[in-house]
Structure 1
Amino acid sequence: MSEYKCIDSQQAAEMVNQGAAVADIRDAASYASGHITGAYNLSNDNLQDFLQQADPDQPLLVCCYHGISSQPAAQFLADKGFDEVYSINGGFEGWRVEQPTLCEQ
């Protein structure tokens, strides 16, 4: 069984620039108001589609509001067979301050 790792926004930004996937587990309205460039808004409604379509061999970053909810979500995805899963410390709130050039609305 794989386990997720916690990383800071600088490490996460480097991974995003190298093609890592990003799953944003915040609600749709929060995601729409701003998110990490290229992030997929993952919810219970589209979880099965995501699991079927995502590449389990590609590094996967999980983002929430402050870096707390992303930890159990990251472990869940690791348990589902994703090899390299990371929770972003500080969540999107930290990301938007530390990595503003890698945000979209």
Structure 2
Amino acid sequence: MNAVNIQTFLSETKNQKITILDIRDKEAYLEDHFEGAISMPLTSVPNRLNELDLDTHYYILSHAGRRAQTIAHFLAKHGFQTTVVTGGMKALRTMSMAS
């Protein structure tokens, strides 16, 4: 499992097309999300593995990053490539407010 901080994540989104998996609940996703992120709430991931592609590298985004680590480990056990966005949406909001 890889991890990147929010600055690296934002840089990578500008330099390449990446696939973002937002594991927050549906309400949080609808309230605010990173453009283009796939909504797949944490509790639904085990039942939705068939919707994911083993050839795709997923950046996992949660509220603060802790739950993203859990799902990244789970997905890795099933053969998926993942990168956790440390700090999650909380860090992204903080950064947006600072600029």
Output the CA distance in 2 between the equivalents of 1:52 and 1:20.
Answer: 19
SS of 2:69's equivalent in the other structure is helix
Q: Which of 78, 88, 92 is equivalent to 1:91?
A: 88
Deviating runs (4+, > 4 A) in structure 1?
Answer: none
Q: Is the 1:9–1:99 Cα contact (8 Å) retained in structure 2?
A: no
Q: Which of 62, 65, 69 is equivalent to 1:71?
A: 69
Q: Is the 1:25–1:70 Cα contact (8 Å) retained in structure 2?
A: yes
**What TM-score do you get using the length of structure 2 for normalisation?**
0.81
Q: Which has the higher contact order (CA 8 A, sep 6+)?
A: 1
Residue 22 of structure 2 corresponds to: 24
Q: Sort the Cα spacing of 1:15 and 1:47 in 2 relative to 1 into closer, same or farther, 3 A.
A: farther
Q: Figure out how many residues of one structure are paired with residues of the other and give that number.
A: 95
Structure 2's unaligned 5+ residue stretches are none
Structure 1's unaligned 5+ residue stretches are 101-105
Q: Quick one: percent identity of the two aligned structures?
A: 25
**What TM-score do you get using the length of structure 1 for normalisation?**
0.77
Instruction: Kindly indicate whether residue 2 of structure 2 is the aligned counterpart of residue 8 of structure 1.
Output: no
Higher helix share: 2
